[in-house]
Structure 1
Amino acid sequence: MASDQSKNGSEEDDDYMNMTFEEKEPSKKAETLMQRKKRLAREAEVKGRPKSKAELAEEERKKREAALNSTTLDTKSKGFKMMAALGYKPGSALGVSRSGASEAKDDRLLEPLGLEMKDSRSGIGADAEKKRKFREEMEAQADGEKKQKVEAGDFRERQQKEREEKKMEGQVWGAMKVCERLEEEEEEAERYPDNDTDPAKRKSTKPLKGINVLWRGLVKQRAINDRDRRMRYDLQQSLVRRPEYDDPDEDKEDKMALGKKTETEEVDIDLDEDDEELDEFAALEVPEKLSRLVAYLRERWHYCFWCKFRYPDKEMEGCPGLTEEEHD
């Protein structure tokens, strides 16, 4: 029996498959005084190191976001206890309803007003002042753009009006020339019925005020231009010619200008004399001048300025009308 027990005991001792090994705890060496001093110094250095602006801003941002994201009231806060004493219950509101709110819908605030952080360093009311200035600048800019558009439109209208007036002025001078030509043709037909006189001798010597005021300005302007031309010619010739020089090839007008012709044709025209009737006609608007000339041509000679044709009778059959638009 003893041998059997010893044999079984040896077998149990040699059963390595069922053996368990307990891990020994790492040996903790005692911290020396020098190591402890170094550790405390490092921890103090970390705690005493001031945080940078970026780190402080990041912490404030996280705290702000956490506060804004939390929509429930802290039941442990003093404010919640005061509201509860007034009858507040979570999910309800305090105070009376707003004016104009319906009974079925409660429009009172269920949560406190949100927190709005002020990033700038400006004082209270500065944002409202900035908004007001910005609004005024935008209004001024809109008014300026509107004014530019109006001025551009006025400029185009003024340019169009100036072009039309310039065109009408040319038509006025053209109508004057037609009146003068028809008048001269009628006078020549009455004065020279046989048409046997030299046309160069048929020049009219009618005084300026004896000419119809409708084309008197044309005659006067032509006479002024002719006088100025002769004065310039006389001045140029006086600088290069001797007074006793006589040129046989000199024409009649040159001799008249130089005062060499013994018998000069004198026209009874005083260009410097005042003419109130001509001044009144010149003061009229261009469309009014043209209207009077066109009406006179139709009434006096049955001539249509727009058709460029003289009709045989006053009915003027075939003429579209009195204005240029009717002839388009």
Structure 2
Amino acid sequence: MDHIFTDLSIWDIFRTQVPFLILHDAKRANDIAHSIMLIVEQGGYLPKWPLANGHTNCMIGSHADIILSDLIMKREHDSHLNMTQVLEALRIVANTEQIHDSRFDPPTYIKYGYVPFDMDEYSASLTLSYAYGDWATGNVMYAAGLIDEVQEYYSRSQWFEHIFDNNTKFFCPRNSTGDILCPATEIEHLIPFDYRYTEGDAWHYRFFVPHNTSRLVDLFGGAKYFTEELDTFFVRSRDWPTITIPNPYYWAGNEHNLFSVWQFHYANRSDLTQLHARWLLDNVYTVKRDGIPGNDDYGTMSTWYIFTSLGFYPLSGSSTYLIGSPAFDRITIRRNNGQCILTIIVHDNAQKNTYVERVLLNGEILSTYPFIDHINQLRCSTDSSAVQVQSNKRRSSNAIWSSVSYSVYTGCNNDQSRSHDNDNDNDDEDDYMSDKILAAAAQASGPQLLNPRRRVPPPPQPPTIPKEKTRHLIEVEQREQGLSTAITSDNKGFQLLKKMGYKEGSKLGANQVNGLSEPIKINIHPSRSGLGEVNEKKEKSRMKEEIKNKFNQQIQSTYQDNLKQRYYFKRVRIDIAKCQSVCERLDKEKLSLEENILWKNANKEKKEDDDDDEEEKEQDEDDDVVSKMETQLKKLTNYLREKHLYCVWCGETFETLDELESTCPGNERDLH
């Protein structure tokens, strides 16, 4: 180990930065893994976010397990990594309570199969994160050959299903009674920093199952419905500015959405990944002052841009990459100080050519497209038996592979060109991605169109068939014809005017200075009822702007309230935990009790007497979660004062009841 790293924002870097180091500089990635294990050796637990010589407890999840899994599953870990210590550290973080809370109360999580909302407000985000972490742990167990534990952790990795609401198709928190607590309205699903989620809203976490998107597709009812919702997630996000502030839909500036654009692969729509990823590269990441969508977070955002520009992206914790659309004509990556070279060649690359037709690896069609594997296809090693090394020795004597060639067809970048239908190709011509064609292209002086069929002038366009006139056009023509034609003398309206004194050839209002010789124009008022018709386009635009303004106003008015509520919720939860701990200690020391329903780990199935039981049922029906927690806290503080003469707010035990009542300001935090 050359370097020790003591500042690791693991919530951020496990997604892109560490996977890129594993690809580009495996030695540096191993130093990070050894630093994590050194923290385990000195502190006892996998860190959540270490800083200097301490723990910040920042963010959520135990994502160090995913970093270790990523390195091990790609077989890039060195011989100094002690697998026995790694396995034990993973077991501890997944199953036992820890001082620094990499995970929330694992025994409770295991008991329910999810994190109950009435025990932690971030329960939905935590459950999704732990499912991902358990999958990564299962991967490491698989690499170690521990089949029983593999099945255990893979089974736990499916617990995200326990908080999936089949009615709304969103992940929502669930409390300990089993009730699911989804946002009540469409706007509530879109409020950033919603108290139910960590740094996000219901849409942001709707697709956060990176490790098993295929199962998520099934939960949505199939690839069609999943694709529609995920596509909506990106299309609607474009209506919002791409700056640091939260976007209620796809939020490019925060980590939990980074993988979302790649999930179209699992619905057999990698073309939509290529479409939306290219749009993000061109519009969200720029050279302007606001050219990065959020805090770079230790290079996490920058590395997302690098991977997406390269045209492939890692599924963190595995050896799998998902193939996208490269942004450059030719890319060369010197890996591990030049030990091997990765070359990506893009044919017929252009701004409008977004979609990948096929991929060649060392001159052969990549059969696993749109996925590619690190071990079998991208691993940098001198062990030539891993894959068949054909032409790569001409480029690097140590290279397992030398190049990947992409070809992008010439479809336009719009919603109508999302097809990969190549059934009209001529089977008799040379394969445009064959070695013969590639060799000729390499010798050419400039960019070439590789498919000979594409050099043929396009066929003449068929004659234009005149379209039927629309109803609107017919009405306009009829109106113009009527205005240009004189009213006949037998017209009933004209005869009525004559009876009222109108003379043929005169003007309406002729007795006035400005008589009217033309029909009175009809003024159209879209916002009023009566004569006229609503201008639909303007009205839709107005309504859209009105909804957007209302949404912004609601965000502004509720954001501060949400922060206050989150702070209050967390403070009450901490106070309850503190009271439970003190209660258990004093009961055991002074009353020699072995069990009390008020203790933290007491049997939650145990019931009190009938009166108390009825009271709790009423609370379950009428009170919200916060009210229940306040009631629980009040019960604990009263018990400590009555049984042990202890005030949790004063932090001390009094000798007599009179001393407690005369010295202590009262049984509320605000009184102290």
TM-score by length of 2: 0.19
Of structures 1 and 2, the one with the larger relative CO (CA 8 A, separation 6+) is 1
Name whichever structure is richer in helix by fraction: 1
| Bigger radius of gyration among the two | 1
